[in-house]
Amino acid sequence: MAEELKVIVFALGQEEYGIEVDKVRTIERIQPITRVPKAPSFIKGVINLRGVVIPVIDLRGRFGLEETVTTENSRIIIVAANELEVGFIVDSANDVIDIDAESIDSPPEVVGGIKAKYLHGIAKIGEKRLLVMLNLSEVLNRKEIMQLEQLEV
């Protein structure tokens, strides 16, 4: 029997992306973000979430996409990556779906302007729907994780 993955689907512009549910801690509405000096431009700052300081990254900025104004649908997806909790600002978090692990193909070199190194693969869902699966370890590479850990001081 094929392995099923439970995935949270979120959107950046017209593209749909997925993160495995077991890597997601919580999904929050947009809240005030405290800016941090000298942080890379895609790091928007930090939030205080139930007493825990969490760095927040704008995924649009991280992927080199055009930044937009946050809306009522915008969300912060809190993920756990290498012992660190990080928030990703996304345009919307739509639903949770099950996908067949075998339906995930290797990503092409560039998808919607995003380099393949940030992607785990492309999942085919039904006849027409494609879901871009994120590679969290590359979205947050080791050097950036060290920068994020320093933000918590």
Which domain covers residue 48, as residue numbers? 4-151
CATH of the domain at 39: 2.40.50.180
Residue-averaged pLDDT of the chain? 83
- Residue 74 CA to residue 119 CA, distance in Å, equals 22
pLDDT recorded at residue 113: 53
Picking from 83, 82, 62, the residue whose alpha carbon sits closest to that of residue 17 is 62
Structurally, the chain folds into a number of domains equal to 1
Q: What is the CA radius of gyration of the chain?
A: 15
The CB density around residue 17, as the number of other CB atoms within 10 Å, is 27
Task: Give this prediction's pTM.
Answer: 0.84
End-to-end CA distance of the chain: 47
pLDDT level of residue 86 (50, 70, 90 thresholds): very high
Residues 97-142 have pLDDT tens digits of: 999 888 888 876 655 555 666 778 888 888 888 888 888 777 776 5
